[in-house]
Chains A and B, each alone.
Chain A
Amino acid sequence: MPPDLPRLYDEHASALFAFLLNFTRHEADARDVLQEVFRRLATRPALLDGVRWERAFLLRLAHNLAIDQIRRRDSRERRHEKIAEIVDIFATTDDPDEAAFRRALAEALGELPAEQRAVVHLKLWEGLTFEAIAVALDIPPNTAASRYRYGLDKLRARLRPLYEEIK
């Protein structure tokens, strides 16, 4: 059965975009991968047949495509690993304290290794369990749990002063 692309876009595009933006740290890459996800869904109607959990499947597809996208880029740039570049992954706000915290958080996330960042994102903002993250990223659940702990510890250490200040 051909997939209902408009429905899939309305239900999953925001989550996929946020994940891709945080993972790739580059808006153009995130858009290209998002486009590729829906192109695959359109050209392979049976892709979602039998899939019980669409979100996890689409996140896994997006993750794999994002890895390919990053590898195709010039390895010397390594934009997904650059610390200096900050990507706006959070919504804007008029509150200056909140804006500062979001900016610092985005920067701190950029300092994490890509695979830790992926796990932290899926745990915090998608609310997935470690078992679900393991399925989405094709890693063992224990690996997902340890990457989350390491990533969260780094974020905590990085953001402690600002967090204590604005708490």
Chain B
Amino acid sequence: MNADDFESRLARQPLRTPPAEWRAEILRTAGVASGSQPSTLNSQPASWWRELLWPCPQAWAALAGAWVIIAVLNNNSLDRSPTQVTQKIPAPSPEIYALLREQERWLMELDEPRPPRVQQPAAPPRPSPLRPHSEIRLIARMA
């Protein structure tokens, strides 16, 4: 028995086809299941953007939603006028102002060049009003 002949003989056997009445019934049932009647008209070709985006509309919707959220958050963080910023920051108290002034004075002292140390007899150095209080008190005791 030639293998090819046998296979050819088998392949030539015509198969049964489904009964003709099944077509209408199967299509009608499928149409009911989908909620619409099956159309026999050829649908118009979709526009290019629909063909590009439609395969995964959920992914596109999620991406768009993420961008919207990012844009809103970014907008909220940047959309602050100077007036709004200053209005939201409470004004410093007088005590804080005093501390800030004293801090500024200390910084100025640090920036001033100090004269070289010279051994001076006798007279105690006059306390400078720019020196820290702690140093002024120490010099006064030594005198």
- Cβ contact of B17, chosen from A14, A50, A102, cutoff 8 A: A14
Contact A17 B10 (CB under 8 A): no
Whether B26 and A38, one on each chain, are in contact in the complex, defined by CB atoms closer than 8 angstroms, is yes
A residues touching B (Cβ–Cβ < 8 Å)? 1-2, 4-6, 9, 13-14, 17-18, 21-22, 31, 34-35, 38-39, 41-43, 45-46, 49-50, 88-91, 101-102, 105, 124-125, 127, 152, 155-156, 159-160, 163-164, 167
Q: Classify chain B's interface size.
A: 20 to 34
The reply to whether A6 and B40 form a contact with Cβ atoms under 8 Å apart is yes
The answer to whether B42 touches A4, judged by C-beta atoms less than 8 angstroms apart, is yes
Q: Which of B7, B14, B30, B31 contacts A90 (CB 8 A)?
A: B14
A1 closest partner in B (C-beta): B46
Is B18 engaged at the interface, CB distance under 8 Å to the other chain? Answer: yes
Residues of A within 8 A of B31 (CB): 5, 42
| CB interface residues, B 1-59, toward A, < 8 Å | 1, 3, 5-7, 9-11, 13-18, 22-23, 26-27, 29-31, 33-34, 38-40, 42-43, 46, 54-55
